[in-house]
Structure 1
Amino acid sequence: MRHIKVFDTTLRDGEQSPGCSMNLEEKVQVALQLEKLGVDVMEAGFAIASPGDFEAVKTVAEKVKNSTVASLARALPKDIDRAWEAVKNANSPRIHTFLATSDIHMQYKLKKTPEQVLEQATEMVKYASKYCSNVEFSAEDASRSNKDFLCKVFESVIHAGANVINIPDTVGYTTPDEFYEMITYIKNNVSNIHKADISIHCHNDLGLGVANSLAAVRAGATQIECTINGIGERAGNAALEEIVMALETRKDFYQAQTGIQTTEIYPTSRLITSVTGSLIQANKAIVGANAFAHESGIHQHGMLANKSTYEIMTPESIGLTENKMVLGKHSGRHAFEDRLINLGYQLTKEEIDDAFKAFKLLADKKKTVTDKDIEALAGEKQVHTPEIYAFERFVINSGNSITATANVKISREEGSFEEVSTGDGPIDASFKAIDKIVGIDFALEDYKIQSVTEGKDAQGSVVIKLLKDGIIYKGSGLSTDIIEASIKAYIGAINKMLDASMRREKEATEDVEGGNI
């Protein structure tokens, strides 16, 4: 069996999808879960993009012990310097530099000749190699590049010190057969290819990201770049869970395997959903709500006779459990904590304390607390939202013949604040009351509500995205009362906005004091 390395770029390419930004604590939490998942390499960010990105890459590099930590860098000295500064304390650091090689990118974006691109790529790989021996070079838009020119670039950068060459399908343009042929051509026409890993990075614009990645594995690729839940720019990236489980389930065909701990796939997927607020469609392969659901009578009959009639992998193989022990208001902390572990969650003592309190409150409102309820509670506790404003209480007066009125009370360090407002319904009125207290102008970009489980006593999960100065801030809330869940989500988004603003002010002050401005 060939070993295929998994390069996860959820923290970099994944975070670039609109509304999926993470704060420092969330990035560290995701990084530690990716390490637990067993990824070979994690791309922690684009160090030069901002002071916040630099700090996140640096912190992840210092905390992660068992995975290689990479930072992206343009093929420029200042980018490579910054990338190395961010990852140098990692147990296994990598500099990942890139330059476009397609005719359209060279002509219109870079405004350089092929000869100039070849020279720049070679010199910058050589420059990066003075910092560390683990250097990856990506030929941006490789799938639309001239194959002979690509071979010339790859041969040159390998000679200059690159030990990984990446062949990205940057705009999701290629097809499986075409990509297979390209990988094969590069393998056969780069004389020193044996000195480097062949990596691929496929986007999903035509829905072929996973198919193209698997075709590349068949052609001889040794590293796959992907993201959890397939998040990423535009239509996203190839989904890690789909690639890994395809290789795992069809070892007979691909004759390849990864080092991924597949039982951590579902917990990792849930964490990304909680942190980013990017929901997964029910029929999503591997981790969707319906991935292991069977409603058809014929299917159910087959499943009862032998599960392999309609399931090619087990729920347990990705970290789902079939634990039937019912939890309710009489259940103790030990049973609750055991269920969290069975569901794949590893919370701190403080997070477990908070989750258990929330569980007891929920159990007083619901007859039976399901695994999905517990997952929702655990996911909410995993999301690290700074509590600048704290929710206290609300009162609603609403009906179809009167104007909705909301009285909302929230607090911050200097005291409690209470306001009353009217609106087009109780939720709108509640938001306007909070706006009066906070006194900041922003736009409600997105509002999503969904039921966690079935029944009249189901919890409602609300995700809100607020837009301020071109940046989207996400908040989430959970309650059996959808108005309360909405208020919590709204406050959560505002808290993230205020926290980000305070961080930027602090960074600006430090720059001035350090003489950088």
Structure 2
Amino acid sequence: MFNHQKYGKQYFMPPTLSYDWVKKETIEKAPTWCSVDLRDGNQALPIPMNLEEKLEMFQLLVDIGFKEIEVAFPAASDTEFKLLRTLIDNNMIPDDVTIMVITQAREHIIRRTFEAIKGAPRAIVHLYNSTSEAQRRQVFRKSQEEIKQIAVNGAILVKELAEQTEGNFYFQYSPESFPGTEVEYALDICNSVLDIWKPTPDHKAIINIPTTVEIAMPHIFASQIEYIHKNLSYRDGVTLSIHPHNDRGSGVSDAEFGVLAGAERVEGTLFGIGERTGNVDLITLAMNMYSQGFDPELDFSQMNAIRKKYEQLTRTEVHERHPYSGDLVFTAFSGSHQDAISKGMKYRQETNTEKWDVPYIPVDPQDIGRNYQTDVIRINSQSGKGGIGYMLETNYGIKLPYKMNEAMGYATKKVSDETSKELSSAEIYQVFRENYIEYHPYFELVDYHFHKGTGQEVTLTVRKDNEQIEMYGEGAGSLDAISNALKAYFDIDYALEVYEQHSLGKDSSAEACAQIGISHHGEIYWGAGIHEDITAASVYALVVAVNRLKDFAASQKEIVK
């Protein structure tokens, strides 16, 4: 049964509330980022990474710029243990990177952990035990004092072994299942652990608050973090960290609100991989900062390469709509969106502005290695003239008059609708060629020759019904002369409504593209021509436009008949 009445509030509000975090507008300074891809992300995989894959992942994280990386739960498996020894024994840890290992507050696990990190140049020992009311009552069946003593005993042993083991060690404590823990009780345990470690500003400890399972809205978590931030002992010797999960889909909000509330460090994974619905996605957090104009101190300029490597190592797929990194996150199919994007991109070119504020695209795709031509606007039956015109202009240099762009839009959407598929830029260009350059159902131009008389004169040769026909015309100029020849021979009348032309390149040898629209009884018929000679391009465009008019007239007569 779908019965909401068996659920209720499982979280605890702090004893005092100040809501100072609400007054802050945004995150201006990057927190310390700690990747837990090799531990939390790895243990969530149906097929965990092997040693070689873990080493590749470690290097990927280093290349991105992570300075703290939780690499293993050394007591969990031989592979985890070997990873630590491989990194340490082969001097594979950069001088500016601190590794972290996690251990339950259990003696044999803590001892095995220190065996794994012996000789580490700089390592954080992450101690945890579960503290929630539900786990105390259901799993451990212990009192608050007994659960606190587990943490204190673990902290004592960690400190003793750190003094006895070769290496440079720092300490971190997490009250696991914090969301279901009384906030003042969680604070009491954290302060009791700190009383054992006695951190200083020169040798800080980390208190890490996880949303092991999200069970409340993000503002609740922020209020809890703010209370802990303001009441921690040894505050100048403690880095307050958070470890958000995503059970309610609010991992990013938890993290951002938590930082506003006083957290200085965030643990998470690339793309949000992790148990159940996953950890907070550090890419989204970092790119959210970047999109507001602040340096996240992580490098995602090669997002596609990072994603490809990550998918290969984890055997998982990043969703096409995943923020910033998915295949379609910068893509517009909607006509109105495409039109706004197209105009926004043109505005940037016209004004040469550095500030990015293109509609519908929060960050410049090129900043993270994406491509305007293939990523931003894609065409299907829902697309509009703006997107189609943008594709032709950015990929082929073809700039269509407004009304012609509208007609081209209908022609393209018709093809997409009939074939039930998205059209590539090459397919869009083919639609353009078939409809406006190579469209000769009624007659085809064979040749033309200009000669001077009282005005401009032309002899025009066309092929109609497999026969060559020669016709003559004169006018004020070359195009006028050809137009008059066609009007006289085919007994039609029209007005030259639109004539535009432009170069398809920047050098003198570039081809020209001409577009012509002729009007007849309120309708405009379009043609285009591409040639190295602008006059020839204009002649070809006019021939297509007249073909469209004649073809339409012929179809109307057939209907009447």
TM-score scaled by length of structure 2 = 0.54
Structure 1 counterpart SS, 2:82:
helix
Describe the shift of the 1:31–1:18 C-alpha distance in structure 2 as closer, same or farther (beyond 3 A). Answer: closer
Code of the aligned partner of 2:289: L
Report if the CA contact (8 A) 1:42-1:70 is conserved.
yes
Describe the shift of the 1:275–1:235 C-alpha distance in structure 2 as closer, same or farther (beyond 3 A). Answer: same
54-63 or 165-174, which deviates more = 54-63
Could you tell me which of 145, 148, 151 is aligned with 1:118? 148
**1:205 aligns to what?**
247
Report if the CA contact (8 A) 1:20-1:278 is conserved.
no
- 1:226-270 Cα deviation digits (max 9, x unpaired): 11111111111111111111122235xxxx753212325443222
Structure 1 counterpart SS, 2:38:
coil
**1:303 aligns to what?**
341
Report if the CA contact (8 A) 2:287-2:296 is conserved.
no
Describe the shift of the 1:292–1:270 C-alpha distance in structure 2 as closer, same or farther (beyond 3 A). Answer: same
Report if the CA contact (8 A) 1:12-1:46 is conserved.
yes
Measured after TM superposition, the shift of residue 54 of structure 1 is 0.8
1:215-364 correspondence runs (5 A): 215-250=257-292, 258-307=296-345, 308-320=358-370
Q: Distance in 1 between matches of 2:359 and 2:306?
A: 28
Structure 1 counterpart SS, 2:301:
helix
Report if the CA contact (8 A) 1:5-1:259 is conserved.
no
Report if the CA contact (8 A) 2:125-2:169 is conserved.
no
Report if the CA contact (8 A) 2:128-2:175 is conserved.
yes
1:94-105 correspondence runs (5 A): 94-105=124-135
Report if the CA contact (8 A) 2:289-2:295 is conserved.
yes
Q: Distance in 2 between matches of 1:137 and 1:279?
A: 32
**1:152 aligns to what?**
188
Could you tell me which of 176, 187, 207 is aligned with 1:140? 176
CA RMSD after TM alignment:
2.3
Report if the CA contact (8 A) 1:36-1:264 is conserved.
no
Measured after TM superposition, the shift of residue 20 of structure 1 is 4.4
**1:63 aligns to what?**
92
Describe the shift of the 1:264–1:8 C-alpha distance in structure 2 as closer, same or farther (beyond 3 A). Answer: farther
Structure 2 counterpart SS, 1:69:
strand
Could you tell me which of 91, 94, 99 is aligned with 2:121? 91
Structure with higher Rg: it is 2
Q: Distance in 2 between matches of 1:265 and 1:200?
A: 25
Aligned: 1:191 with 2:240: no
- 1:162-207 Cα deviation digits (max 9, x unpaired): 6001111101223211001000111122232332111111111111
Measured after TM superposition, the shift of residue 158 of structure 1 is 1.8
138-147 or 275-284, which deviates more = 275-284
Q: Distance in 1 between matches of 2:315 and 2:69?
A: 21
Code of the aligned partner of 1:296: S
Code of the aligned partner of 2:367: S
Report if the CA contact (8 A) 1:70-1:87 is conserved.
no
Code of the aligned partner of 2:81: F
Report if the CA contact (8 A) 1:198-1:222 is conserved.
yes
Report if the CA contact (8 A) 1:199-1:222 is conserved.
yes
Code of the aligned partner of 1:152: D
Measured after TM superposition, the shift of residue 299 of structure 1 is 2.0
Code of the aligned partner of 2:305: P
Q: Distance in 2 between matches of 1:157 and 1:322?
A: 53
- 1:431-462 Cα deviation digits (max 9, x unpaired): xxxxxxxxxxxxxxxxxxxxxxxxxxxxxxxx
Report if the CA contact (8 A) 1:19-1:276 is conserved.
no
1:346-385 correspondence runs (5 A): none
Report if the CA contact (8 A) 1:96-1:136 is conserved.
yes
Measured after TM superposition, the shift of residue 4 of structure 1 is 0.2
State the number of aligned residues.
Answer: 322
Structure 2 counterpart SS, 1:320:
coil
Report if the CA contact (8 A) 2:307-2:318 is conserved.
no
Report if the CA contact (8 A) 1:158-1:193 is conserved.
no
Code of the aligned partner of 1:14: G
Which consecutive residues of structure 1, in runs of 5 or more, have no partner in the other structure?
Answer: 325-367, 371-517
Describe the shift of the 1:318–1:156 C-alpha distance in structure 2 as closer, same or farther (beyond 3 A). Answer: farther
- 1:273-303 Cα deviation digits (max 9, x unpaired): 1112211221111111101112222222222
Describe the shift of the 1:3–1:243 C-alpha distance in structure 2 as closer, same or farther (beyond 3 A). Answer: closer
Report if the CA contact (8 A) 1:6-1:39 is conserved.
yes
Structure 2 counterpart SS, 1:263:
coil
Q: Distance in 2 between matches of 1:60 and 1:107?
A: 40
Could you tell me which of 52, 60, 69 is aligned with 1:42? 69
Code of the aligned partner of 2:364: T
Measured after TM superposition, the shift of residue 321 of structure 1 is 5.2
Q: Distance in 2 between matches of 1:192 and 1:138?
A: 16
Q: Percent of pairs identical after alignment? A: 26
Report if the CA contact (8 A) 1:228-1:268 is conserved.
no
**1:480 aligns to what?**
none
Report if the CA contact (8 A) 1:27-1:56 is conserved.
yes
Q: Distance in 2 between matches of 1:317 and 1:81?
A: 46
Q: Distance in 1 between matches of 2:370 and 2:74?
A: 35
Describe the shift of the 1:96–1:319 C-alpha distance in structure 2 as closer, same or farther (beyond 3 A). Answer: farther
- 1:40-95 Cα deviation digits (max 9, x unpaired): 21111110011121112332444221321111100122222222222334332111
Could you tell me which of 213, 220, 225 is aligned with 1:178? 220
Report if the CA contact (8 A) 1:200-1:216 is conserved.
yes
Report if the CA contact (8 A) 1:34-1:268 is conserved.
no
Q: Distance in 1 between matches of 2:121 and 2:370?
A: 32
TM-score scaled by length of structure 1 = 0.59
Q: Distance in 2 between matches of 1:74 and 1:288?
A: 36
218-227 or 304-313, which deviates more = 304-313
Measured after TM superposition, the shift of residue 152 of structure 1 is 0.7
Could you tell me which of 55, 58, 61 is aligned with 1:31? 58
Report if the CA contact (8 A) 2:36-2:69 is conserved.
yes
Could you tell me which of 102, 107, 112 is aligned with 1:72? 102
Structure 2 counterpart SS, 1:88:
coil
Code of the aligned partner of 2:92: K
Report if the CA contact (8 A) 1:69-1:87 is conserved.
no
Q: Distance in 1 between matches of 2:312 and 2:339?
A: 35
Q: Distance in 2 between matches of 1:257 and 1:123?
A: 40
